[in-house]
Amino acid sequence: MGRPKALLLFGGEPLVVHIAGVLKRLFHDIVVVAAPEQELPALPVTLVRDEVAYQGPVAGIYYGLRAAKAEIAFVTSCDVPFLNLSLITYLLSQISDYDVVVPYCQGRFQPLHAVYRRSVVPFLAEQLERSELRPIYLYKKVRTREVSEDEIKRLDPDGLSFLNMNTEQEYRDALRCWEELRRGGNAAQDTSAACVVELFSVARLLAKTAKVSLALPQQATLADVLSALAERLPMLVGPVIAPDRRSLTSGNACNINGREFVRDSRIKVNPGDSIFIVSADAGG
């Protein structure tokens, strides 16, 4: 590119700011891994730096996972402006029985658009010691879920999630694509209804987290929310979420936006809704 890609203007702001802003809609904890002397704008993120320069994506994934607060993390690069929250949410939903969930498309793995457990950190450390700087070496050592191109196309038919920019021409083409999407009302490449689920009482104790962000299809219902929540937090199935994964057990209740408790799982969930799950006998 001839200049720092993280600082390229996109949507009127540096690309790294743009990407962090998109991811903030889905994640509360964001880690940015930078080179030792790399200059970046001020960001509301955890910033860590490579301890050894020029070790490639394995080092970036390693330092990022090591600094992450959650046990599961989505990893991406700084030059992919068309992130699709629905696809990211789908990748997250596949991690239950795996250590890595990685798309395979365009004839290769996409390690910088993948989901990793923090438990793979020791394997990455060993790779760095052996100078094995390609992430695919990890996939043979841990439980890896390969996401097919057909699965990806259902959520991102044009494959824009994997469009990165390595030349000035690719940058200009991406800006032109962004403007076309913006005029069509879909500049964020996100056809989902993002909502936040807040957990209280037993649900919070089991999940060991207070809040989860979910990206859902348009016209999503409460049943869709509970299904996505069950995929993200499988320990809630049984005690909180019914075995059908589309309703709550009798000992739990759901409130939408703090206004009313709902029992009908067919009720529509709107973008920006806050959904509270509490024990049915909880006071307050």
Tell whether 89 and 196 lie within a shared domain. no
Tell whether 157 and 16 lie within a shared domain. yes
pLDDT at 186: 57
Is the distance from CB of 241 to CB of 230 less than 8 angstroms?
yes
Tell whether 166 and 196 lie within a shared domain. no
Burial of 47 (0-12, 13-18, 19+ CB in 10 A): middle
Tell whether 45 and 120 lie within a shared domain. yes
Tell whether 41 and 164 lie within a shared domain. yes
pLDDT at 284: 42
Tell whether 69 and 203 lie within a shared domain. no
Tell whether 175 and 203 lie within a shared domain. no
Give me the CATH number covering residue 232.
3.10.20.30
Check residue 148 and report its DSSP letter.
P
Task: Provide the pairing of β-strand 144-147 with 100-105.
Answer: parallel
Tell whether 136 and 218 lie within a shared domain. no
Three-point CA angle 44, 94, 207, nearest 5°: 60
- Whether 147 maps to a domain, the answer reads yes
- Whether 56 maps to a domain, the answer reads yes
Is the distance from CB of 100 to CB of 142 less than 8 angstroms?
yes
Coil, strand or helix at 213: strand
Q: Give 191's pLDDT tier (boundaries 50, 70, 90).
A: very low
- Whether 10 maps to a domain, the answer reads yes
Burial of 28 (0-12, 13-18, 19+ CB in 10 A): middle
Q: What percent of the chain has pLDDT over 90?
A: 43
- Amino acid code (one letter) for 136: I
- What would the mean pLDDT of 137-162 be, rounded to a whole number? 91
Tell whether 154 and 17 lie within a shared domain. yes
Q: Which domain holds residue 274?
A: 192-279
Q: 193 pLDDT exceeds 60?
A: no
- How far apart CA 166 and CA 179 sit, in angstroms, is 19
- How far apart CA 165 and CA 168 sit, in angstroms, is 8
C-alpha closest to that of 160 among 106, 95, 207: 106
pLDDT at 283: 46
Tell whether 246 and 213 lie within a shared domain. yes
0.85 exceeded by the pTM? no
Q: 53 pLDDT exceeds 60?
A: yes
Residues 6+ apart with CB under 8 A from 58: 124, 127, 128, 132, 133, 134, 135, 138
Look over the chain and give the mean of its residue pLDDT values, rounded to a whole number.
Answer: 87
- How far apart CA 70 and CA 64 sit, in angstroms, is 11
Residues 6+ apart with CB under 8 A from 113: 75, 76, 77, 80, 91, 102, 103, 161, 162
Higher pLDDT, 270 or 199: 199
Is the distance from CB of 67 to CB of 44 less than 8 angstroms?
no
- Whether 85 maps to a domain, the answer reads yes
Tell whether 134 and 95 lie within a shared domain. yes
Per-residue pLDDT reduced to its tens digit, 245-282: 889 998 899 998 887 888 898 998 877 788 999 987 65
Per-residue pLDDT reduced to its tens digit, 32-47: 999 888 888 988 899 9
- Whether 221 maps to a domain, the answer reads yes
Q: Domain boundary residue among 162, 183, 204?
A: 183
- How far apart CA 5 and CA 79 sit, in angstroms, is 6
- Whether 247 maps to a domain, the answer reads yes
Q: SS3 breakdown of the chain: % helix, strand, coil, rounded to 5?
A: 35, 25, 40
Coil, strand or helix at 193: strand
Q: From edge to edge, which strands make up the β-sheet containing 274-279?
A: 211-217, 192-199, 274-279, 252-256, 260-262
C-alpha closest to that of 81 among 172, 3, 146, 217: 172
Q: Give 236's pLDDT tier (boundaries 50, 70, 90).
A: very high
pLDDT at 248: 94
Give me the CATH number covering residue 65.
3.90.550.10
Q: Domain boundary residue among 131, 163, 183?
A: 183
Q: 218 pLDDT exceeds 80?
A: no
pLDDT at 159: 87
pLDDT at 110: 95
Q: Domain boundary residue among 183, 214, 238?
A: 183
- Whether 284 maps to a domain, the answer reads no
- What would the mean pLDDT of 98-105 be, rounded to a whole number? 95
Coil, strand or helix at 170: helix
- Whether 214 maps to a domain, the answer reads yes
Tell whether 54 and 135 lie within a shared domain. yes
Split into its structural domains, the chain has a count of 2
